[in-house]
Structure 1
Amino acid sequence: MTPDEYCQQKAAQSGSSFYYSFLFLPPDRRRAITALYAFCREVDDVVDECPDGQVAATKLAWWRRELANVYRGSPQHPVTLALQSAQREFDLPEEQLQEIIDGMEMDLRQTRYLDFKTLALYCYRVAGVVGLLAAGIFGYQDRRTQKYAHDLGIAFQLTNIIRDVGEDARRGRIYLPIEDLQRFSVPAADILNARHSDNFRQLMEFQIERAESYYAQAIASLPESDRRAQRPGLVMAAIYRSLLDEIKRDGCLVLQQRTSLTPLRKLWIAWRTWVRG
């Protein structure tokens, strides 16, 4: 199996909505964004699948060194071998890729976030940076597209947090800011014990509004000259906004279930958004 095939398999197996936004790209850009996505999945899996924090930290340290090897010309892992090709073609900054690992390390150090400012730093590291890297792979001419990519990445991560509240709680994590829980009178124990309430629904509707504001802000700041090149991000935004609609329509029952769209619906949204440009 080649490094590109490994990354393709990693992306396809995840079932992520991101996979559908890559489908219509030219082969060189599709290979590069798939390598980036596979790298994100690898380091994210370290945190999610390793119950021993010390072992997880050791594995992330290995990935940090392996990422440095990409820029020294000596990577060993299939993902970093594929990333090396992407880096050569699209000039991916090492410091941004390393910052993704910084975000994963935050997961090892804390399971709560006091306020949105603190959460926003986490979202930037694990998703905003990815948005910036992806925008570079897709191509842009106007520097204002960086603002679009940053905000879109934040919006994606906020959507993930909303979708995964119950799943994260079962791992002992609550990403919803403590200040928001207090504002809506939702005890952390209710989330950890999957106790749905009207207050919790209102809390989640507030989180959805915040995510939607980032989507709107991102799309409004995308220069028309770069809109066609940045269609993969717009595809992903359309899929994720449909997911938020579903969650809200279901009454925000994210403590008991993980709302998702069918592959066919994702493909339909992806195609429709792509052809509209």
Structure 2
Amino acid sequence: MGKFNWGTHKITDSEVFLAGYDTFNDLISAQKYCTKIAKSNYENFIISNWFTPKEIKQHIQNIYAFCRYGDDLGDDSPFPPNERLKLLNEWMEDLERAFKSENNPWQGEPRHPILRAVSHTADIFKIPITPFKRLIEAFKLDQQKTRYSNYQELKNYCIHSADPVGHLFLYIYGYKDEELQKISDNTCTALQLANHWQDVNRDLEQDRIYMPIEEMERFNYSLEDYKKKIVNDEWRALMRFQVERARELFENGKNLWEKVDPRLVVDLRMFTMGGMAVLDAIEAQGYDTWSKRPKISKLKQLRMLMASRKLWKEAHKKGKGIR
């Protein structure tokens, strides 16, 4: 991810002060701040892109800023895990200040400008606090849990780290149906898994192993092999299994495409194309994700962009409008 200068977080015995607190105190400046965050990482930011309807682009940027900030607290802040937890607990407290109460949702007074902007978005689209809390819980989980015994544990992580993003998109497009959320979860979980298998090196540098230990044992690939980054037939078989499972999830997620606004489908198809391209890249290098991080080629990125542009034109011809 591109770096954004958030400022300085401070932790003392009596206070946790998050970078950005008590700045940009009106909605207009808070939203401009969120836009700046989004544009600072624009090359990776396929969420708020050329294809997002103008009437919701700011709201998508507000959500993106929330995710980026939490990611910084959990992964990039210069503190050990126990102190990162304090930062994330404070972020959760400010979220709850913003939400205020079930009887008066999103009418509170957060200290952080991102949450001021998010409150505005959540209030307009009647978004509950749950998806936001789950995302923060995922960042907290990364400070506390570095091994996953089985796939169910990893799936539970994805329920917090990935699936809420899909729910937020659906809310912004006007969909509150739990059945649609469940279908969306396939795509979001698949994206998270593709990211994990692409980034085994980066995650191991932080002593994080997302590969389910039970499945490693099933393929006769030991934890010691993993730490030594050994590439053998067992590793290739294990990674092939993970790639195929993620592909199946992407296929299941396609069931959402015929059920929602065609303009949202453009985003969904972009997510799917991007994730599938990562899986293809893993396969193309013989499932060896240790020697080199799998990347999507510039040519493939261009083809995806052109395909998305065509989809966008078609979507706007039959667009339903935001519900």
Q: TM-score, normalised by structure 1?
A: 0.90
Is the Cα contact below 8 Å between 2:48 and 2:60 reproduced in 1?
Answer: no
Q: Greater shift after overlay, 167-176 or 12-21?
A: 12-21
When structure 1 is superposed on structure 2, of 24-33 and 161-170 the one drifting more is 24-33
Residue deviations 1:183-212, cap 9 Å, x none? 111112222222222211211111111111
- Number of the residue aligned with 1:275: 310
Report if the CA contact (8 A) 1:36-1:83 is conserved.
yes
Give the partner amino acid of 2:128. P
Unaligned runs of 5+ in 1: none
For 2:81 and 2:260, the matched residues in 1 are separated by 45
| Residue number in structure 1 paired with 2:93 | 65
Pick the structure with greater CA Rg.
2
- Would you say 1:242 and 2:242 are equivalent positions? no
Does structure 1 residue 170 correspond to structure 2 residue 205? yes
The alpha carbon displacement at 1:15 in A equals 5.6
Higher relative contact order (CA 8 A, sep 6+): 1
Aligned position for 1:145: 180
* Greater shift in the superposed pair: 6-15 or 116-125: 6-15
Structure 1's 141 and 116: CA in aligned 2 closer, same or farther, altered over 3 A?
closer
Does the alignment pair 1:10 with 2:10?
no
Q: Percent identity?
A: 28
Partner deviation per Cα, 1:138-179 (whole Å, 9 max, x = no partner) = 334866422222221111111111111111011111001001
Tell me how far apart the structure 2 counterparts of residues 196 and 149 of structure 1 sit (CA, whole Å). Answer: 33
Provide the secondary structure at the position in 2 that maps to 1:205: helix
> CA 1:116–1:24 in structure 2 vs 1: closer, same or farther (change >3 Å)?
same
Deviation per CA, 1:108-127, whole angstroms, max 9, x where unpaired?
22111011011101001010
Asked if 1:47 is matched to 2:74, the reply is yes
Q: 1:86/1:109 Cα in 2 relative to 1: closer, same or farther (>3 Å)? A: same
Aligned to 2:59: 32
The verdict on how the C-alpha distance between 1:16 and 1:176 changes in structure 2, with shifts beyond 3 A counting, is farther
| Aligned equivalents of 2:38, 2:218: Cα separation in 1 | 38
Is the CA contact 1:140–1:229 (under 8 Å) kept in the aligned structure 2? no
Letter in 2 for 1:218: G
Verify the 8 A CA contact 2:48 2:57 in the aligned structure 1: no
Q: Deviations over 1:31-81 (max 9, x none)?
A: 112221221121122221245111101000111011112223312223212
The runs of 5 or more residues in structure 2 that have no matched partner are 1-23, 101-107, 316-323
Of the three residues 82, 86, 101, the one matched with 2:136 is: 101
11-20 or 155-164, larger mean C-alpha shift = 11-20
The answer (yes or no) to whether the contact 2:35–2:61 under 8 Å persists in 1 is yes
CA gap of 1:85–1:37, structure 2 versus 1, over 3 A, is same
In structure 1, C-alpha distance between the alignment counterparts of 2:174 and 2:269, rounded to whole Å: 14
Q: Work out the CA distance in 2 between the residues paired with 1:44 and 1:230.
A: 26
Give, as a single letter, the amino acid of the residue that structure 1 aligns with 2:86.
Answer: T
Match of 2:115 in 1: 80
In structure 1, distance between residues paired with 2:161 and 2:218: 26
- CA deviations on 1:83-111 (whole Å, 9 max, x unpaired) are 12211222221122111111222112211
Alpha-carbon deviation of 1:223? 3.5
Q: 2:167 — aligned with what?
A: 132
How big is the alpha-carbon RMSD for the aligned residues of Structure 1 and Structure 2? 2.3
Contact 1:138 1:230 in 2 (8 A): no
Amino acid at match of 2:89: A
User: How much has 1:5 moved relative to structure 2?
Assistant: 3.3
- Partner of residue 319, structure 2: none
Shift of 1:224: 3.9
1:202 to 216, 234, 237: 237
* Distance of 1:42 and 1:173 partners within structure 2: 20
Greater Cα offset, 140-149 or 189-198: 140-149
Determine the C-alpha separation between the residues in 2 that align with 1:42 and 1:225. Answer: 29
Paired residue total:
277
**Residues in 2 aligned to 1:59 and 1:143: alpha-carbon distance in whole angstroms:** 31
| TM superposition shift of 1:219 | 0.6
